[in-house]
Chain A
Amino acid sequence: MKCYVCAKLGRDTDAVAICIVCGMGVCMDHAIREDTEIWEGGYPFPAKKIKHKLPRILCPECSHAMKGDK
Chain B
Amino acid sequence: MTSLMKRSVAELVGTLLLVYFGCGAAVITLTTAARESGPLQALSIGSLGGLGDWLAIGLAFGIVVAAVIYGLGRVSGAHINPAVTIALFASKRFPLTDTVAYVAAQLVGALLGSVLFFLSVGMDAVTIGGLGATAPAVGITFGMAILAETIGTFVLMMVIMGVAVDENAPPGFAGLAIGLAVAGIITTLGGVTGSAINPARSFGPAIADLLLGGPNVIGALPIYFIGPILGAIIAVFFYDWIVKEN
Interface, chain A (partner B; CB < 8 A): 39, 42-49
Contact = CB atoms under 8 A, between A and B. Distances in A.
Closest A-B pairs by Cβ, 8 of them: A43-B73, A48-B1, A47-B74, A44-B77, A45-B77, A42-B74, A43-B174, A44-B164
A43 B1 contact: no
Interface of B: 1-2, 7, 69, 73-79, 84, 88, 93-94, 160, 164-165, 174-175
B69 A45 contact: no
The binding surface of chain B is classed by DSSP as helix
Contact of A44 (B1, B2, B7, B73): B73
B93 A43 contact: no
Nearest to B78: A43
16 contacts: A39-B74, A43-B74, A43-B78, A43-B164, A44-B73, A44-B84, A44-B160, A44-B165, A44-B174, A45-B88, A45-B93, A45-B94, A46-B75, A47-B1, A47-B75, A48-B1
Contact of A46 (B77, B84, B164, B175): B77
A40 to B, nearest CB: 10
B233 to A, nearest CB: 15
A46 B1 contact: yes
A46 B9 CA distance: 13
A47 B79 CA distance: 13
A46 B2 contact: yes
Contacts of B79: 44
A46 B165 contact: no
A42 B167 CA distance: 11
A47 to B, nearest CB: 4
